[in-house]
Amino acid sequence: MTIQTKGTSQSKPPIGKQRKGAILEILGASTKLGLTSFGGPIAHLGYFREEYVKRRKWLDEKAMPI
């Protein structure tokens, strides 16, 4: 499958591989946060916001309830 975006073509992996890659990326990010974060629930929300909203841009500010 090929995707056309602004005059360039990019090859897109099959859906099964995309899903597996996405799941592994989520698992990796969550595991890293779980193993390296310290503090109470309020501190964790800050770590999650930094990783998921600012760094990876998986969510936007409106999606975060804090």
pLDDT per position as a tens digit, 34-48: 898 888 888 888 898
Residue for token pair 């090859």: 11
**φ/ψ (deg, to 5) at 36:** -110, -15
What is the per-residue pLDDT for 54? 92
In whole angstroms, what is the distance from residue 26 CA to residue 1 CA?
A: 24
User: Which pTM value belongs to this model?
Assistant: 0.58
Q: Is 53 a residue whose pLDDT tops 80?
A: yes
SS3 state at 9: strand
SS3 state at 29: helix
Helix%, strand%, coil% for the chain, nearest 5: 60, 10, 25
Q: Are strands 8-11 and 2-5 parallel, antiparallel or unpaired?
A: antiparallel
The whole-chain average pLDDT of the chain stands at: 78
